[in-house]
Amino acid sequence: MNITVFLGAPGSGKGTQAKRLAESQNFIHFSTGDMLRSAMKAETDVGKKAKGFVDKGDLVPDNVMIELIEAALTGIPNNTKIILDGFPRTVPQAEALDQKISTAVNRALYFLVPEKDLITRLTGRRVCEKCGEPYHVESLPPKKEGVCDKCGGNVIHRKDDSAEVVGHRLQVFHKLTSPLLSYYKTKNRLKELDGNRPIDTLQKELVQILN
Ligand code: AMP
């Protein structure tokens, strides 16, 4: 498998970029955040295990996440191009991907965005409950308030994008996820990108890098 990992703090634009690449290029996009939200909505075992962690902005335990992604990647043809968005989020998850799941990561792209911009992006972020299309109250509102332009689903404010939870999620990122930067750097697989640019500009650069 050809696996690219998108790394970045919450709100750094990984999901938006990955979604567009999946629509316009030949990539399969796995967002563990979306997978967990669907599981929570459907009240599956994974959803029930995850809910308390997700709502508080904490990470879901590694064993749950590793099983989830392992199941998702099983049976996928070898020549598939995959973007992992939101996984791995800890060093043990990255090790599992490289060793246990025997699906070594080809490259990791890090979306760098200043902290103050992350907070504005996250607290103003809205998302379609049905298809996951991202919006922003100021910079990218849906044409009709509360309704997704793409699928007509409800555009909502995620509970974990509230001002109280956002600060905690950023702390969790610095403590548990940012060590992944050294993990992939030591393996010469890390590329840093300026994530503070217009969506289309960054998308063009990604298309070049990934093809
Ligand atoms: P996201 O949509 O990527 O911001 O993820 C939303 C939430 O899902 C995170 O704040 C975590 O609670 C949980 N989550 C998503 N991916 C992971 C992961 N790889 N490891 C642990 N928790 C995760």
- What is the chain's pLDDT, residue by residue, as a tens digit (211 residues)? 889 999 999 999 999 999 999 999 989 999 999 999 999 999 999 999 999 999 999 999 999 999 999 999 988 988 899 999 999 999 999 999 998 655 677 899 999 999 999 999 999 999 998 888 999 999 899 999 999 999 999 999 999 999 899 999 999 999 999 999 999 999 999 999 999 999 999 999 999 999 8
pLDDT, residue 103, reads 67
Q: What are phi and psi of 29, to 5 degrees?
A: -105, 120
- Retrieve residue 172's tokens: 């969790």
Output the residue whose Cα is nearest ligand 1's atom 14: 33
Q: What are phi and psi of 142, to 5 degrees?
A: -65, 155
Question: For residues 194 and 112, is the Cβ–Cβ distance under 8 A?
Answer: yes
pLDDT, residue 21, reads 94
pLDDT, residue 102, reads 53
Query: How does DSSP classify residue 101?
Result: S
The helix or strand, by DSSP H or E, that contains position 192, with its residue range, turns out to be strand 190-194
Structural domains in the chain? 2-113+164-210 (3.40.50.300)
Q: Is the dihedral of CA 112, 115, 120, 123 positive or negative?
A: positive
Is residue 169 flagged as an active site residue?
A: yes
32: CA distance to ligand 1 center in Å?
6
- Retrieve residue 13's tokens: 């634009």
Best substitution site from 32, 91, 177 to test ligand 1's pocket, by max atoms within 8 Å of Cβ? 32
pLDDT, residue 162, reads 92
pLDDT, residue 99, reads 83
Query: How does DSSP classify residue 18?
Result: H
Best substitution site from 60, 157, 168 to test ligand 1's pocket, by max atoms within 8 Å of Cβ? 60
